[in-house]
Structure 1
Amino acid sequence: MAITEHKDIEKGDNKGLEDLVEPLIDEDGSKDCKETDHNGSISMVLLSTAVAVCRSLEFGSCVGYSAPVQSDISIDLNLSVAEFSLFGSIVTIGAITSGRIADTIGRKGAMALSAVFCIAGWLAIFSSMGSLLLDSGRFFTGYGIGIFSFVVPIYIAEIAPKNLRLTTLNQLMSVTGSSISFLLGTVVSWRTLALTGLVPCILLLVGLLFIPESPRWLAKVGREAEFERSLRKLRGAKADIFAEADEIHETILTLQSLPRARLLDLFNAKYIKPVMIAVGLMVCQQSGGINGIGFYASETFQTAGLSSGKAGTIAYALIQIPVTMIGVVLMDKSGRRALLMVSSSGTFLGCFLAGTLFFFKGQAIFLEWVPLLAVSGVLVFIALFSIRMGAVPWLIMSEIFPLHIKGAAGSLAVLVNWFGAWTVSYSFNFLINWSPAGTFSSPSLWFSG
């Protein structure tokens, strides 16, 4: 599942209704926001961010769980390919109600609820003796991280001063969580690995006791006294918060005055081009097969001819973190389009290499080289995808829509993305059993297009 990055559409200068209905992008493509210096300490902002990104570790633990344990779970619980595919893919259904939950019970409330769902899910997986409880646990963890994936980036964006960018930390920690799960899965049992997923949830629940609610959400629901206390706690006891408080109120009032768009409004002639761009990027991102490769990496490496998938899984885990850091650095320096083209070209190369080598294996050609080179192709795919193919589509989507239709457009993009994630993650095991070469050739055609 590709990791989603959300931008705070409520942060930025207020220019009046006529400007707010246009995308908040200036001529060089950056967001139109004015940096504000805050007196006082940012220690509470950093603490709140550290607590929130425990969610990112949990997200990574959940999406990385199925890859190293596929063989052991299938043997211990006597699962068929179809049963394990359902278990692996059911995690992708959790983002549907996340926005409404975050707006109803607040950012902290949504994070706490998510942690409870994830804890229940991991305990169910740990104690499962058959597919029913196993799938129920995976469903609960998927629902939990679906809410997490929406609310945490928004919370981080809403508490941070404009001159402090922390949203990239969210994705980096998600990848770190996935890599940790991959590595631990090679040395501990699948039940023990499920218990390790509890750790980020417990840290999050404890941390929520010490951090403030999002001041923007408090202002939006009219809790003025709590809004001022939260903002002062985040900016420091001696900080002048009145200018920022006025700006937040003005932004909320202006946003509330904008017309509320429906999904049908997206098909208006003046919006159809950005809609096609956003949906097209999501389709291409998911059709590349990232969730199938990521969810079942260990089994893929064994199919390539490795005696055990552990070595490939360890390499997968170790390569994700540094290349994601490279992508974070390059995001604003190289431009969205250039980075997207480099990343998609590299993923095409990785799929093409893996598909070709799987074809050679089927024809009994270069058998001594097939395992190493096929695994290399998969690792090239992962490395270049991590550089930004996973994040850039979400970032582009956040920048190309006017504010008054951004909610409807985001809902459509999330629906397309998560449906694609489920389709790929459910069908991948069947496809690779049918034709490994064909499985990797299809994504290469998407990326080359």
Structure 2
Amino acid sequence: MAIGQFKDVENGEIINTLEDLEQPFITSSKQEKVAGREKGDDPDYSLRHGGSIGMVLLSTFVAVCGSFEFGSCVGYSAPVQSSIREDLNFSLAQFSLFGSILTIGAMIGAVSSGRISDFLGRKGAMRLSSGFCIAGWLAIYFSTEALYLDMGRFFTGFGIGIFSYVVPIFIAEIAPKNLRGGLTTLNQLMIVIGSSVSFLIGTVITWRSLALTGLIPCIFLLVGLFFIPESPRWLAKVGCEKDFLVALQKLRGKDADITIEAAEINEYIGTLKTLPKANILELFESKYIRSVIIGVGLMVFQQFVGINGIGFYASETFVAAGLSSGKIGTIAYACIQVPITVIGAMLIDKSGRRPLIMVSATGTFLGCFLAGTSFFLKGHSMLLEWTPILAVGGVLIFISSFSIGMGAVPWLIMSEIFPINVKGVAGSLVVLVNWVGAWLVSYAFNFLMSWSSSGTFYIFSAFSVMTVLFVAKLVPETKGKTLEEIQASINSS
């Protein structure tokens, strides 16, 4: 953390002192500025001055329809693997391509999401994303050959790649700071719910019908966007001052006092314009490299503990372990994700980031080790009556442990460790790494299982151990710290 920096009280971002920036947007005395900041530091200030959160909650509900759609796309392949392969006569390689091409589309969507949301606005980006998802689901529904099926999967991937960026950004930009953390965690929760619902419904309806259910959250989102305001911060950034004030007033309530918050946002936007735009090469300078290592490392380990391989192909994994049908295991997998994710969201600001992710990684190690042992015993014709139980138990322990920490915490830490002037380019790099890892794991999983089922899960368990060591050695605790304090702890380590 450089000397002479402070935290913008509304956004929690690191900005330079006004003196260093030649005070381009100071309109009041220092005494008035201090007084204003004291009011701004009160998280209940606007609520106690005629404010309400009804529109914020409605806007969040509309936005997380995109998160639900994200989960629906991710969860689609697991319950339909056997039926698609039978109906369309797919080989293992063809279905692996179908399952993993989602992540290729998501990579492209995620990389372009920043520019799209800056050009079209947050609402415009969500509309575009919904359009791609709708086109993708319809292509899957009507497909009779691999080309259209893969094209549809790619389109849905591109759509959720945009959603993965714009939904949490939109929620963070509209929420009062005292509610931001809780509302932002709804993004991860709705992803898990969408995935679980897709798992469950996919066990009782055909793969074509399941594709049509993916249209529902998109329709809710497109309709809901007509009733909610655009992000005030984006409006301020593009110079729509009148629309900015109208949107902010609508979000805080018609009788709310928004003067302090509006001033803080304008100050932040003014500061942002004075900062030089960073490029990706600057991330490797000594002052940023530790943050980059932490952000990239967490995303690598999040993917290489095996979540997308295990999740995409859960049903077939249970069958391979000896179950007569993968439906029971798939249903249990789906049902356990949601309550555990809720528990994780409740713990994230109480237990701290480091303990939660280390406990989570320890659990994923245990789950993968048990599943690997199940396949090892089956391969050597030992304790065959126990192998299905060990496999299902291991996978359920894995997904429970992942959901409580490894799923959400890396994204939260990523949002906290980068200074404002490099956050955009650093965020793009980290998201790209995450999706590349997702593609590698989801594409290679079936081939790894063909090579050695036990070895596959033992590899994932080894990455879980490395996650614990990585967090213990390099990742700072960010709970209850300002961004300045986080930067100081990173740079002093």
| Aligned pairs for 1:410-421 within 5 A | 410-421=427-438
Runs of 5+ in structure 1 lacking a partner?
1-7, 22-31
**Contact residue 348 and residue 443 of structure 1 kept, 8 A:** yes
**Contact residue 10 and residue 252 of structure 1 kept, 8 A:** no
Whether 1:77 aligns to 2:94 is no
Whether 1:387 aligns to 2:401 is no
Q: Structure 2: which amino acid aligns with 1:109?
A: G
Partner of 1:4: none
Runs of 5+ in structure 2 lacking a partner?
1-6, 21-39, 467-493
- Could you say if the C-alpha distance between residues 107 and 363 of structure 1 is closer, same or farther in structure 2, counting changes exceeding 3 Å? same
**Contact residue 297 and residue 313 of structure 1 kept, 8 A:** yes
Select 1:35's aligned residue among 38, 43, 46. Answer: 43
In structure 2, C-alpha distance between the alignment counterparts of 1:112 and 1:179, rounded to whole Å: 24
Partner of 1:229: 246
Q: Cα deviations across residues 366-418 of structure 1 (Å, max 9, x unaligned)?
A: 00110111111011111000001111112112222222122222122111111
- Could you say if the C-alpha distance between residues 446 and 235 of structure 1 is closer, same or farther in structure 2, counting changes exceeding 3 Å? same
Partner of 2:213: 196
**Contact residue 37 and residue 163 of structure 1 kept, 8 A:** no
**Contact residue 34 and residue 162 of structure 1 kept, 8 A:** no
In structure 2, C-alpha distance between the alignment counterparts of 1:19 and 1:415, rounded to whole Å: 34
CA RMSD of aligned residues (A): 1.9
Q: Aligned to 1:261, what secondary structure does the other structure show?
A: coil
- Mean alpha-carbon deviation: is it higher for 223-232 or for 100-109? 223-232
| Aligned pairs for 1:41-120 within 5 A | 41-93=52-104, 94=106, 95-120=110-135
In structure 2, C-alpha distance between the alignment counterparts of 1:153 and 1:426, rounded to whole Å: 27
Q: Structure 2: which amino acid aligns with 1:189?
A: T
Q: Cα deviations across residues 79-109 of structure 1 (Å, max 9, x unaligned)?
A: 1111111111111132121111000000110
Q: Structure 1: which amino acid aligns with 2:56?
A: V
Q: Structure 1: which amino acid aligns with 2:94?
A: E
Structure showing greater Rg: 2
Q: Structure 2: which amino acid aligns with 1:74?
A: R
- Could you say if the C-alpha distance between residues 56 and 33 of structure 1 is closer, same or farther in structure 2, counting changes exceeding 3 Å? farther
Q: What is the CA distance between 1:16 and its match in structure 2?
A: 5.3
**Contact residue 13 and residue 34 of structure 1 kept, 8 A:** no
- Mean alpha-carbon deviation: is it higher for 407-416 or for 370-379? 407-416
Q: Aligned to 1:53, what secondary structure does the other structure show?
A: helix
**Contact residue 279 and residue 416 of structure 1 kept, 8 A:** yes
Identical amino acids, percent of aligned pairs: 68
Q: What is the CA distance between 1:18 and its match in structure 2?
A: 4.1
Q: Aligned to 1:97, what secondary structure does the other structure show?
A: helix
| Aligned pairs for 1:288-367 within 5 A | 288-367=305-384
In structure 2, C-alpha distance between the alignment counterparts of 1:370 and 1:292, rounded to whole Å: 20
Select 1:150's aligned residue among 165, 169, 172. Answer: 165
Q: Structure 1: which amino acid aligns with 2:234?
A: W
In structure 2, C-alpha distance between the alignment counterparts of 1:84 and 1:271, rounded to whole Å: 40
Q: What is the CA distance between 1:37 and its match in structure 2?
A: 2.2
- Greater relative CO, 1 or 2 (CA 8 Å, sep 6+): 1
- Could you say if the C-alpha distance between residues 191 and 414 of structure 1 is closer, same or farther in structure 2, counting changes exceeding 3 Å? same
Partner of 2:177: 162
In structure 1, C-alpha distance between the alignment counterparts of 2:124 and 2:369, rounded to whole Å: 45
Partner of 1:174: 191
Number of residue pairs aligned between Structure 1 and Structure 2? 432
Q: What is the CA distance between 1:297 and its match in structure 2?
A: 0.5
Q: Which runs of 4+ in 1 moved over 2 A?
A: 8-16, 18-21
- Could you say if the C-alpha distance between residues 54 and 10 of structure 1 is closer, same or farther in structure 2, counting changes exceeding 3 Å? farther
Q: What is the CA distance between 1:241 and its match in structure 2?
A: 1.6
- Could you say if the C-alpha distance between residues 329 and 295 of structure 1 is closer, same or farther in structure 2, counting changes exceeding 3 Å? same
Select 1:268's aligned residue among 275, 285, 288. Answer: 285
Q: Structure 2: which amino acid aligns with 1:154?
A: I
In structure 1, C-alpha distance between the alignment counterparts of 2:160 and 2:319, rounded to whole Å: 29
